[in-house]
Amino acid sequence: MYCGTCMVSIEETLSALPGVKSARVNLTTKRVNVRFDPAQTDSIELISALEGIGFPSAELVEGRESQTDERNRDFLKRLGVAGFAAANVMLLSVSVWAGLASDMTEAVRGLFHWLSALIALPAIAYSGQPFFRSAARALKGGRLNMDVPISLGVLLASAMSLYQTATAHEHVYFDAALTLLFFLLIGRYLDQSMRTRAAGAAANLLGLKATFAVVLDGDGSSRRVSARTLKPGDRILVAAGERIPADAKVEEGISEVEESLITGESVPRPVASGAQIYAGTSNGGGALIATATATDQNTLLAEIARLIDVAEQGRGRYVRLADRAARIYSPAVHALSALTFAAWMALDNGWEPALTAAIAVLIITCPCALALAVPAVQVAATSRLMKSGVLIKSPDGLERLSEVDTVVFDKTGTLSLGEPQLINPDSHDITMMARAAGMAMTSRHPYARALVRAAQRRGIVVSPRKDVRELPGRGLEVTTSQGVERLGAPAFAYPDGRAGGEDPVSILVYRSAEGAFAQYAFHDTLRDDAADTVGKLSQAGFTVELLSGDRSSAVAAAAAASGITRVRAEVNPAGKLAHLSKLKAEGHTVLMIGDGLNDAPALAAGHASMSPASGSDIAQTAADAVLQGQHLFPVIEMLEVSSAAQRMARQNFAIAIAYNIVFVPLAMTGYVTPLLAAVAMSASSIAVTANAIRLKSKKLNLRPVR
């Protein structure tokens, strides 16, 4: 599988099977992700369908990542054979060329040609196998791919050379056929290596998984087991310097954990009893005993890898354009080659130059550069952003991010850390606090979690209440035999809807079934780079707004600290949605950044959207990107990279189109030999991939808004 034509064939074949809901090919990793109904089809039928169109397949199992290395080693061996044979045949050809200007006899020239054939034919048969096999599978499946014209060109050049050797002709093309294969293999190897470098984000992540784990048994003994066999609830020992084998909660020990691959943060995070640690991160200076909470494919590391893989499998509009072009490209190539041959013959140029020109057209028109133009950029951008702490969930999102002119922040958990602290926790009634914390335990809202933490620190045993309903933007409600209890915004909990004061703090109010009230005030800390991030966004010309459901006084304080001048407070989910619709109607393209259940409608309505990793599951599902770590600065890099990615995609399209405009007419008119055609085709493919890889290290400046 090497080109867009292959991708389209696979997806169309699988999508036509009963029960298949979607099929998405990742050209870089050579994988296809299929969603299907097990009641109507199974993996055996899927594999059989792929083999029917010439693609031997197997279910993905752990450890298959090494196949890329094996394939590259195989290319190197075939490349070495082609290069060695080409060099020797070239020496013989030089002797023949020199002999043409002297008195070399026909018998000696014929001997040199037969020696060339003796070296070239076995080398071509061995070195050309990757192309020949791929072409044969494609033809067997009733389709064309880019290896069909390559194979046809090589075989025609070899056959013509063998014929001319047998008929004692002065000119043969064994050197051209071998050198053609040599350059094709160089191009294919470099292309594969570069795509592996561009893509490697998900594979590199999974490669950081710990292989083994030390499990502590109930009797105090320990045993070394495969990390894949761990189960939630297992007690594990992580020594200093080791990778953590599972998501876990620390029971004993104090250490620092290096989490840059998860959060993008370069500074190790201190951990102690009660802290959450994650699979694949590195334990620092102290041993830790922890209880596994998620293992193997259920860890945060595995989920991040899946998100990256899904992002690479998606189709942005540029990718869809390239796919459509590649679909009609192969038939057009063969038609163009046949037309070239016919035109040369019609002009009485002879069949040999006509065939040479047709071979050059077959080779030079391979759609490699066009097929790679966008996917290479897409995976390079995804990889770079992942290292910065941003997970892009779809290429469509990456494209929309490049068009943003307005950035709208939520406050709690987005502009702020989302780790509010209860003010004066010991001053609250224990019974009321226990009831309120029991309701709060069912919610992921930052204030609810802060209330639970404060209650637990006071020694209150907090148990989750049953039948609690969460009303987005308002609060929690539970109906008991005594009546209705509420915990949430003052306007929701108080019967008269009063706001609860004007202090620059955020407030939750608990109302018991008996009508008693308890008010809990919280203060939250802004992310330490919030003001700097907002300042740089404003300098670049972005309109920055703060849109929050929190109280006006608390929102105003956060806006003043971060430098945001456009502020809307006490906005419910419907109000947020209406405001984004208003901005859209005014012609703005909005990036909405929020973390809560109440932000989900606005996230879905934004031109592009982002949610912190600490946000609710619904918010993360609605968002195009997920922000890891404690800083906001990756938002700036996300906007930079998305804009640069679209520029590079357009550059790659320009390279691919310019290559065809320049070289196809030259090949048709006989100015490009098959050898030069191979060099040009490989160079174009390498050029677009190398251009994409620049994105991984390119120094960027925040783009001005158009």
pLDDT digits (tens, 9 = 90+) for 215-246: 988 877 888 888 888 999 999 998 877 889 99
Q: Running DSSP on this structure, what letter comes out for residue 419?
A: -
Convert the pLDDT of each residue in 684-701 to its tens digit: 878 888 888 888 777 766
Please give the pLDDT value at position 503: 44
Looking at residue 255, what is its pLDDT? 85
Q: Is the Cβ–Cβ distance between 243 and 282 less than 8 Å?
A: yes
DSSP strand pairing (390-392 vs 625-627):
antiparallel
Q: How confident is the model at residue 86 (pLDDT cuts 50, 70, 90)?
A: confident
Query: Each residue of 655-670: pLDDT tens digit?
Result: 888 888 898 899 899 8
Residue 10: Cβ within 10 Å count: 23
Secondary structure of residue 211 in the 3-state scheme: coil
pLDDT digits (tens, 9 = 90+) for 499-544: 554 444 578 899 998 889 999 988 878 888 899 999 999 998 899 9
Neighbours of 624 (CB within 10 A): 27
Q: What is the mean pLDDT of residues 408-413?
A: 86
The residue type found at 436 is: A
Say how far apart CA 643 and CA 387 lie, in whole Å: 17
Per-residue pLDDT of 582-609, as tens digits, reads: 998 899 999 999 876 667 778 878 888 8
> CA-CA distance, 76 to 69, in Å (whole number)?
11
End-to-end Cα spacing for the chain:
39
Cα–Cα distance measured from residue 208 to residue 387, given in angstroms and rounded to the nearest whole number: 14
pLDDT for the residue numbered 126: 94
Q: How far apart are CA 700 and CA 478, in angstroms?
A: 51
Give 446-489 pLDDT, tens digit per residue. 788 889 999 999 998 888 888 888 887 788 999 988 899 999 88
Alpha-carbon separation of residue 654 from 317, 540, 651, 661 (angstroms):
16, 28, 5, 10
Rounded CA-CA distance 76/475 in Å is 63
Angle between helix 67-100 and helix 174-199 axes, rounded to 10 deg: 150
402 CB-near residues (< 8 Å, 6+ apart): 639, 642, 643, 645, 646
CATH class of 4-61: alpha beta
What is the DSSP pairing of strand 288-294 with strand 235-238?
Answer: antiparallel
CA dihedral sign of residues 396, 401, 404, 410: positive
Kindly tell me if the per-residue pLDDT of 291 is higher than 90.
yes
Residue with the larger pLDDT of the pair 706 and 2: 2
Q: Which helix (H) or strand (E) holds 131?
A: helix 129-140
Element (H, E) at 34: strand 31-36
Which amino acid makes up residue 170? Answer: E
Go through the chain and tell me how many residues it has.
706
595 Ramachandran zone, left/alpha/beta (phi>0; psi -120 to 50): alpha
Buried b (16+ CB within 10 A) or exposed e, 148-175: bbbbbbbbbbbebbbebbeeeeeebbbb
Contacts 24+ apart (CB under 8 A), 478-483: 478/439, 480/513, 482/513, 482/514, 483/513, 483/514
Alpha-carbon gap, residue 605 to 608, rounded angstroms: 8
Q: Tell me the pLDDT of the chain averaged across its residues.
A: 80
- Res. 85 pLDDT band, cuts 50 70 90: very high
What is the reported pLDDT for 502?
44
Distance CA 457, CA 468 (A): 23
Q: What is the DSSP string of 40-76?
A: T--HHHHHHHHHHTT-------TTGGGHHHHHHHHHH
Quick one: tokens of 189?
């190897």
Question: Given this model, what pLDDT does residue 194 score?
Answer: 52
Q: pLDDT confidence of 249, banded at 50, 70, 90?
A: very high
Confidence grade of residue 3 (pLDDT, cut at 50, 70, 90): low
Buried b (16+ CB within 10 A) or exposed e, 261-299: bbbbeeebbebeeebebbbbbbbbeebbbbebbbbbeeb
Residue 288 vs residue 418, higher pLDDT: 288
Q: Between 466 and 96, where is the model more confident?
A: 466
pLDDT at 61: 56
Nearest alpha-carbon partner for 391 in 589, 603, 597, 641? 641
Residue, of 2 and 543, whose pLDDT is higher: 543
What pLDDT is recorded for position 311?
Answer: 47
Interhelix angle 375-388/317-346, rounded to 10 degrees, is: 150
Contacts of 672 (CB under 8 A, 6+ apart): 360, 364, 663, 666, 680
Mapped onto helix, strand or coil, the DSSP state of residue 477 is strand
Q: What is the mean pLDDT of residues 69-87?
A: 84
Identity of residue 490 = P
Strand order of the β-sheet with 543-547 is 390-392, 625-627, 608-612, 590-593, 406-409, 543-547, 566-568
pLDDT reported for residue 597: 60
C-alpha 295/C-alpha 102 separation (Å) is 77
The correct answer on CATH 3.40.1110.10 for the domain covering 421-523 is yes
What's residue 508's pLDDT? Answer: 87
Does residue 25 or residue 530 have the better pLDDT?
530
Rounded Cα gap, residues 642 and 702, in angstroms: 11
Q: Of 200-204, 417-421, 617-621, where does mean pLDDT reach its minimum?
A: 200-204
Residue 543 host element (H or E): strand 543-547
Highest mean pLDDT of the ranges 99-103, 356-360, 514-518? 514-518
Cβ distance 646 to 399 under 8 Å?
Answer: yes
Per CATH, is 210-301 categorized as 2.40.110.10?
A: no
Domain at 395-417+528-623, CATH class: alpha beta
3-state secondary structure of 524: coil
Helix (H, G, I), strand (E, B) or coil at 418: coil
**What pLDDT shows up at residue 486?**
92
Max Cα distance, the chain (Å): 117
Q: Which residues are catalytic?
A: 410
Distance in angstroms (rounded) separating the CA atoms of residues 325 and 385: 29
Give the pLDDT confidence score for residue 546 in this predicted structure. 92
Name residue, tokens 């045949």: 89
Where is 539: in which H helix or E strand?
Answer: helix 530-539
Q: What percent of the chain has pLDDT over 90?
A: 15
Which of 44-48, 49-53, 160-164, 558-562 is predicted most confidently? Answer: 558-562
| Three-state secondary structure call for residue 248 | strand
Sign of torsion over alpha carbons 651, 657, 660, 663? negative
